Amino acid sequence: MAIISERRSVASTPVAVGEPQDRCRFGPSFDRSRVECPAFQRGQFIAATSYGKPLGTHVACTHLMVGELGTNQFYPRCTLGDQHARMRWLANMGPGRIEVLKALNAEFERLYPDSLRQLIIAKAAVLAAPPDDRTARLTLATVVRDFVSQFTTFITTHADRIAEIGYAPIDLTARAAHVLAEWQHSARLDLPGVDEQSILRPAGADAATGDDVVATSGLMISRTSLPTTVTLVGSIDESNLEALSDALERATVSGDVVIVDLSAVTFCSVAGLRMLTATADAGKLTLHGMQPRLRRAMIAAGLSGTTPPSRRARETSDG
Amino acid sequence: MTEHAATGDFRHEALLYRGESDFVERVAPFILDGIATGEPTLVMVSSAKINALRERMGGLDGLVEYRDMQTVGANPARIIPAWDEFAVTKAQDGAVRLRGVGEPIWHGRLAGQMEECHWHESLINRAFADVKGFWLICPYDAAALDPSVVDEARTTHPVIIDGDRVVRTAQDVQDAFPVPTTPLAAQLAQPDRVVAEMSFAADTLMELRAIVAVEGARAGLSPERLEDLILAVSEIATNSVTHGGGRGVARVWLDGGDVVCEISDRGVITDPLVDRHRPGHDPSSARGLWTANQLCDLVQVRSSRERGSVVRLLVHAGHRTA
């Protein structure tokens, strides 16, 4: 369950006016950089030459595809769309279902580590072979059939969890078979992801039942009750601090101590940390799942531990 | 050493020495005098020099504290807060006289860091002008440093001690060393090749962080140092959004093995000590530049009414001999 696509070199790219809105800013080398994108779904990226020689496996995002700008101009395209579309996808999925999806992806990768690679190699051999060579085509057909069979077994085994996140297992396998058959006969080496939005699409408006979800710029805030828990997915910065502050205000209005789950927070500004810790210090909420990177940020900003005395401490400034 | 000034004013003196044994012979008596008179002393030099000094003093430690300047002063903007913390803590304990030995300038520092060290030495005159009874000496290795670096010391220290010669470059700290504004308004050298550039506002801070993440990883920053740079860039860019006209321009480039990110905006900074203030407990207290200074190996701030403000953040990608 991962997207694979032919490796295209993507040059260092200053942001220019008129660029596609669905350009992915976070990759394509996700194994070398941290990923702040809240919609990031880990998957494998198998690079291969057009002669079928594998160039290696990289960490990629299942939403990442090759986009075309024009003749021989390519860019990393997010199949979800622009930032707003990513947030809509997150809001529709809800944090619980995203966790299930991530776990399923990892499980499939663990069970069938080589199947995606074999697909790419077989397809590359077809593309490189002369048109009248039937051997390569037969091999590809076998590999595709095996893959569909593995995928169907996997989906059937995990039918309950897949149903839990709002997908019908039978639709899923049918769609995967259809997409792969199309790909098998196409001239493309890159394979559409079998769990991309077009296949594993959220099932309608009741997708996030029970969750009170706010998807603001770069941050999904969802609330569940008993006990009141606010789950944050994404990054906290100047663009959504006010929305977060409002949401926490609403959640704590009843006087209950609210649990704030920070385990899926990929970035938090110093102002965000200050707001969260100040509200926690006031006894209104408890912070769970704070990651080491956020703790390090608090130390650097002088927000944790004892603040040494200073003549130069100022209480307000523009610094 | 010169005799104690009767007034007890802040004393900021450069001490020229030649080689490590000369360093020990000249600095140890200063520390021993402080031990004899019961003055709290903070020594911030390299760890090798700390070891040599302690050995020379044979277990006499008195009220002497040591800190490794290559850690504290890796980014020169962190040194004034360290002296400040020392001065305030000891004053609270009732000390009326304090001694300090600080060597932020050593052979092999990056040009940008050397530039900021001179700026730092000149800011010291302002930062501690009103701290009575504080005697700070700054050793300069005249044998290893470029003569032009030693010459800079003459413009930032009211007193130069060179062998047995004591040269008083000014009678009064305040008069001879008026608040230096030139470095704040000066222009920084332009990079050869910018690898990424974008204009940002509040709603594109995440994109800016993504660009820094990709370029920093490409340059080989370790995951932790990359986190540091991303947070520093994001905080400085947030300053542009909240105080610098709502937007700014970011540029990223490589300098040798180091990653540099520059944020510029239309805001104007007038306080030369702007990034040396430790933030207070008040939650509204600003922390952007302070945080960046704790995270980066070099932070350069330049500002003028004509050109607005520029903040350059540098993180070493690999280990280099410094």
Domains of chain B, CATH where assigned? 11-180 (3.40.50.300), 184-316 (3.30.565.10)
More confident residue, A43 or B207: B207
Enumerate the domain spans of chain A: 1-209, 213-300
Give me the helix-helix angle, A270-281 and B223-243, nearest 10°: 90
* Range from A72-81, B78-87, B112-121, B171-180 carrying the lowest mean pLDDT: B171-180
Question: If you write DSSP's letter for every residue of B245-307 in order, what string do you get?
Answer: SSEEEEEEEEETTEEEEEEEES-----TTGGGPPB-SSTTS--HHHHHHHH-SEEEEEEETTT
Read off the pLDDT band of A27 (50, 70, 90).
confident
Q: What is the pLDDT of residues A161-172, one digit of tens each?
A: 888 777 778 887
Three-class SS of residue A268?
strand
Supply the pTM of this predicted model. Answer: 0.81
Q: What's the pLDDT at A247?
A: 93
Split at pLDDT 50, 70, 90, the class of A310 is: low
Residue A16 predicted with pLDDT over 60: no
Half-sphere exposure of residue A227, counting CA atoms within 13 Å on the CB side?
A: 10
B267: which chain A residues are within 8 Å (Cβ-Cβ)?
Answer: 318
Q: Rounded to an integer, what distance in angstroms lies between the CA atom of residue B183 and that of residue B64?
A: 34
Average pLDDT over chain B, rounded to an integer: 88
How far off is chain B from A132, nearest CA to CA, in Å?
43
Return the percentage of chain B with pLDDT > 90, whole number.
66
DSSP state of A149: H
pLDDT exceeds cutoff 60 at B101: yes
At residue B13 the predicted structure's pLDDT band, cuts being 50, 70 and 90, is very high
> pLDDT at position A3, please?
31
Structure tokens at A260: 């704030």
Residues of B in contact with A319 (CB under 8 A): 239, 274-275, 277, 279, 286-290
Q: Which of A122-136, A295-309, B240-254 has the highest mean pLDDT?
A: B240-254
Contacts of A301 in chain B (CB under 8 A): 279, 287, 290-291, 294
Task: Nearest by CB to A302, from B202, B274, B290: name it.
Answer: B290
Q: How many CB pairs under 8 A join A and B?
A: 176
Nearest chain B residue to A238, by CA: B202
May I ask the CATH class of domain A213-300?
alpha beta
pLDDT at A20 over 70: yes
Give residue A15's pLDDT.
45
**A301 to B226: CB separation less than 8 angstroms, yes or no:** no
Residue B229 banded pLDDT, cuts 50, 70, 90 = very high
**Cα–Cα distance measured from residue B3 to residue A3, given in angstroms and rounded to the nearest whole number:** 76
Task: Give the best residue of A10, A61, A317 to mutate against chain B (max B CB count within 10 A).
Answer: A317
Residues of A in contact with B279 (CB under 8 A): 301-302, 307, 313-314, 319
B223 and chain A in contact, CB less than 8 A: yes
Within 10 angstroms of residue A181's Cβ, the number of other Cβ atoms is: 13
Q: Please state the rounded mean pLDDT for residues B77-84.
A: 96
For chain B, the straight-line distance linking the first and the last C-alpha, in angstroms and rounded, comes to 30
The overall average pLDDT reported for chain A is 78
> Alpha carbon B83 to chain centroid distance?
11
Nearest by Cα to A213 from A37, A83, A101, A92: A92
Backbone dihedral angles phi then psi of residue B227, each to the nearest 5 degrees? -55, -45
A250-281, pLDDT tens digit by residue? 999 888 889 999 988 999 999 999 999 999 99
Most A CBs within 10 A among B195, B268, B287, hence the mutation to make, goes to B287
Q: A68: Cβ–Cβ under 8 A, 6 or more apart, which residues?
A: A74, A75
pLDDT-derived band at A107 (thresholds 50, 70, 90) equals confident
Q: How far is CA B213 from each of CA A20, A63, B218, B232, rounded to the nearest angstrom?
A: 20, 19, 8, 12
Whole-angstrom distance, CA of residue B307 vs CA of residue B262: 14
Average pLDDT over residues B14-33: 95
* Predicted pLDDT at B273: 86
Cα separation, B286 vs A275, whole angstroms? 13
The answer to whether the CB atoms of A267 and B92 lie below 8 A apart is no
Q: For residue B206, give the nearest of A12, A33, A218 by CB distance.
A: A218
Instruction: Kindly list the residues from chain A whose CB atom is less than 8 angstroms away from the CB atom of residue B216.
Output: 33
Mean predicted confidence (pLDDT) in B278-298: 84
Residue B139 confidence (pLDDT): 97
Tokens, residue A278: 């100040």
Calculate how close chain B gets to A26, using CA atoms only, in Å: 5
Choose among A175, A178, A141, A172: nearest CA to A157: A172
CB of B85 less than 8 A from some CB of A: yes
Helix (H, G, I), strand (E, B) or coil at A27: coil
